Amino acid sequence: MENYPIIPGRGLVTPTSTKLRHDYLNELGYSIEHISTSGLLHGDIQNKIESYIGSVEIPIGLVGPLLHMADGREEWVYGGAATLEGALVASMNRGAKAASMSGGIKTRFIHQKMSRCPMFVFDKPEDAAMFYNWLPAKFQTIKREAEKHSNHAQLLSIEPIIVENVVHTRFYYRTGDASGQNMTTTCTWHALLFIVELFSKETGIVITNYVIEGNGSSDKKVSTYSVTKGRGVKVIAECHLEESLIVNVLRTTSDDIMNYFAPSVVLAKLDNMFGYNINVANTVAALFAATGQDLGSLHESSVGMLSIEKTNTGLYISLCLPTLVIGTVGGGTSVPKQKEVLELMKCYGKGKLERFAQLIAAFALSLEISTYAAIVSGAFAKSHEKLGRNKPVNWLTKSELNKNLLVEILGKLNPEFSSLTIGFEEQEMDNGIITNLTRKISKKLIGFFPFTAMDDKNNLSLLVKSKAMDQDVIKALHCLAASIDPVLSDLIYNYRNHTEYYNCHLKELFIYEDLHTKGFFVTPAYYGKKEDLQREIYLLITEYLPEQDMYLFNAENEPERWRPQDIENMIKNITTIHQHYHAASAQIPEHLFQQFDPASSAPLYEKLIAIIVKEEEDPVRVVQLQQLQGFLKDLTVRSEIDALPVCLIHNDFNPRNIAIRMNGEVCMYDWELAVKNIPHRDIVEFLAFVTSDPQDLNFLKKYLGLHAAAWGRDLSDAAWVRGYLYALKEFLVCRMTFYKASEILMKLKFPNRVLDNCFSMIEQLEKMCEG
């Protein structure tokens, strides 16, 4: 074809050639804005790629710590896993935790080989037979010739295979710390030329047809021969899992695992499955991408043989990786970021290949352990359930979140804003626990997106919040709970309409608009909303609150910073809101806000209490948490609070969702968990977070007295004080249990401190009731 297009600078990797290719693609109408933005230097990738135009990024997660044992040494090791598969790193770490707490993972390096398989074609079978017999006797001569062309390759053997007039020859090498494909190709090519010349000279037979690779080396392919005879590294990882760790970390039992293991191995054999493992390829791919390995070797390197045996105290588990094609020098291992990951693993450079292979096997076994346990326990299936979300929905996209949409929303509230200039802020936002969880299981545009809106009169820093629907939130909690206990996962789903998460995507939109309309300026300034039921779009635009412009912001772990005037101001303002919604109770939409009643979801809270009691290692704390079962029973006696006012409450009223401006004004946000309840609930939660001395009875009397007086009550009113007791028990049972259960998967700083504060407050209030 005469007019075949020519790409500029083809093959070259230089700044000039790269720029020429960028211009060429842009002229053709292709956008490579993101691809072309790369942190790689041309010098770092010379001879590693051709026609370079940029790079793609894969996020790297930290794996470990894992207790690793090899060569008589014991150490904590870490790794970097490059992946876009959510939950992969978390699962690897769960398996690493279970194995480490059971005594660690022991690994053994067996051997390292690399092969190349030249093919010689002869005119007659008799000539092929003569060559077949001639070759072994010349091994040492050929070995010397082959090894001249590398400082590291050692030719171990040559194995001929004759098929009629064709002789295949498997050359096996040891290649040091390099994976060796290129090294063995070079050495074998020169050996091949030497063989052709020497054989002709000694026998008079001219070999006219030969190729460097007859496909017998199984390069980048899987074969039984590679597994049995060796190609790449063979390494074994093993550990003993204690029953208590199988139960408490993996959420299953050794008996359940064994019940499913043997039958699944039988089916794998019937299906002629190559080897037996759960998802070794996930670990190998993630570690290969992070450390600059040859991704073409993933297929053969992911062969794995998993074995599980029952012991008197748990399970013995081993994993053999027989064909791991890896290197710690050469290829992509010297590219800066890949080199850093290898250095993190203490595996970069010469003399590190054995360690690298052993760590890959150890991390692969960690993932096998966790994934198999998840499958057996049901957590694997639950984490992938769609919860009925099968209908196609035209969700909002990032490109639609543009000037036209935002000006449309802003203009409805204030016509002046219809001509504002919009500019998005390029910054990361901390979206909060629930939003972050929901984004893991949904492809919707969910989260916070800051932007500026300005004209001649206005210069506004604003935030658009794209909210997840309640069913999305429940699905996220369902998946999180599946990693803790599958039964808990089911209970969250079964009682979803009785929790505070019901209608969470609608409640905050109503409250912001209602408070703004009624003249209550205690939230971030409100600028509008958009609801689209069909497309499941729920947007809220508010003032953006820069942390540096606030006196107190996200101060849940800093009770000492809360001044008396801040506490008083917060109580007064939330009480004003409570009283507004008490007086306007008839105007509260019944379909949005329900009366919160723990008794309607009692099995859910019973399970949460059982889980956190079982998980707690501190015997004193266990006794404390066991009291929650009694508190749950107390909450079923609603007559205790029948005489108290009911209003709309924030229901998540703590320093994670409230702030103090520099001028001392309060700011309350994140109202999505609002419910109807007694006003005491917000007050006790707030005080449990901000008190520095829970034994200070004067502190408690002062602020509860302030709150009671605002309602025209007195702390001598036993019914009013019992309201605080009820609210504390409800907070402990219905919210703190969620925090404590979440700590199984992610550590939080405040739960134990707040727990202790709540129990001290209960003790003080009970004394007040008795007095």
pLDDT of residue 352: 94
8 Å CB contact between 453 and 658:
no
* Dist CA 730 CA 393 (whole Å): 38
At 430, the pLDDT band (50, 70, 90 cuts) reads: low
292 pLDDT higher than 50? yes
User: Which residues are within 8 A (CB) of 32 and not within 5 positions of it... i.e. 6 or more apart?
Assistant: 22, 25, 26, 53, 54
pLDDT reading at 1 higher than 90: no
What does the pLDDT read at residue 375?
87
Chain mean pLDDT for the chain: 90
Is the pLDDT confidence value at 215 over 70?
A: yes
Q: Return the percentage of the chain with pLDDT > 70, whole number.
A: 97
User: What integer pLDDT is reported at residue 771 of this predicted model?
Assistant: 62
Residue 219 makes CB contacts below 8 A (sequence gap 6+) with 115, 116, 181, 213, 300
- Whether 294 is catalytic is yes
Q: What is the pLDDT of residues 10-44, one digit of tens each?
A: 778 888 888 888 998 899 999 988 888 888 888 88
**Matching residue, tokens 């994993």:** 319
pLDDT the model gives residue 429: 62
Alpha carbons within 13 A on the beta-carbon side of 203? 19
DSSP-derived pairing of the beta strands 232-242 and 305-310: unpaired
Q: Domain residue spans in the chain?
A: 1-57, 61-112+226-377, 118-211, 382-544, 552-771
Question: Where is mean pLDDT largest: 255-264, 571-580, 584-593?
Answer: 571-580
Tokens (6 digits) for 567: 């506490």
Q: Measure the CA–CA gap between 484 and 720, rounded to whole angstroms.
A: 38
Torsional sign, CA 647, 648, 653, 659: negative
The one catalytic residue in 50, 71, 85, 197 is: 85
Is the CA virtual torsion 476, 481, 484, 486 positive or negative? negative
pLDDT computed for residue 231 by the predictor: 87
Amino acid making up residue 391: K
CA distance 623 to 644: 31
| 170 has a pLDDT exceeding 90 | yes
Task: For domain 118-211, give its CATH number from 3.20.20.80, 3.40.50.740, 3.20.20.140, 3.30.70.420.
Answer: 3.30.70.420
The pLDDT > 90 percentage for the chain reads 61
Query: What CATH topology corresponds to 552-771?
Result: Aminoglycoside 3'-phosphotransferase; Chain: A, domain 2 (3.90.1200)
Bridge partners, residue 454, by sequence: 421, 459
Q: What is the pLDDT of residue 426?
A: 66
Question: Which whole number is the average pLDDT over 494-514?
Answer: 94
Q: Tell me the mean pLDDT in the region 481-486.
A: 81
121-128: average pLDDT: 93
Q: How confident is the model at residue 358 (pLDDT cuts 50, 70, 90)?
A: very high
C-alpha closest to that of 202 among 130, 295, 117, 293: 130
Tens-place pLDDT, residues 42-95: 888 887 888 888 999 999 999 999 999 998 899 999 999 999 887 789 899 999
- Which amino acid, residue 229? K
CATH 3.40.190.10 fits 61-112+226-377, yes or no: no
Q: Which of 384, 455, 763, 766 is catalytic?
A: 384
Distance spanning both ends of the chain, measured CA to CA? 100
- Convert the pLDDT of each residue in 627-675 to its tens digit: 999 999 999 888 778 889 999 999 999 999 999 999 999 999 999 999 9
Long-range contacts of 712-721 (CB under 8 A, 24+ apart): 715/768, 718/769, 719/643, 719/644, 720/644, 721/765, 721/768, 721/769
Q: What is the pLDDT of residue 388?
A: 44
Say whether 634 is catalytic. no
The whole-number pLDDT of residue 150 equals: 86
Is 578's pLDDT higher than 90?
Answer: yes
Which is the catalytic residue, given 145, 294, 472, 616?
294
Torsion of CA 265, 269, 273, 277, to 10 degrees: 20
Would you state the structure tokens that stand for residue 195, as one six-digit string? 């063989």
For position 51, what pLDDT does the model report? 87
> Which segment of 188-192, 236-240, 434-438, 720-724 scores lowest on mean pLDDT?
434-438
Mean pLDDT of 352-363: 96
Query: pLDDT for 367-422, tens place per residue?
Result: 999 999 988 887 666 655 544 444 467 888 888 888 888 888 988 888 888 778 88
In sequence order, what DSSP letters do the residues of 326-379 get, joined into one string? Answer: --SSSGGGGSHHHHHHHHHTT--STT-HHHHHHHHHHHHHHHHHHHHHHHHHTH
The confidence score (pLDDT) of residue 387 equals 44
Q: Beta strand 105-116 with 60-70: parallel, antiparallel or unpaired?
A: parallel
**Between residues 418 and 553, which one has the greater pLDDT?**
553
Q: What is the pLDDT of residue 638?
A: 80
Active site residue 85: yes
Mean pLDDT of all residues in 538-547: 93
- Identify whether the C-beta of residue 495 lies closer than 8 Å to the C-beta of residue 474: no
Give the whole-angstrom CA distance, residue 399 versus residue 407. Answer: 15
Q: What is the pTM of this model?
A: 0.70
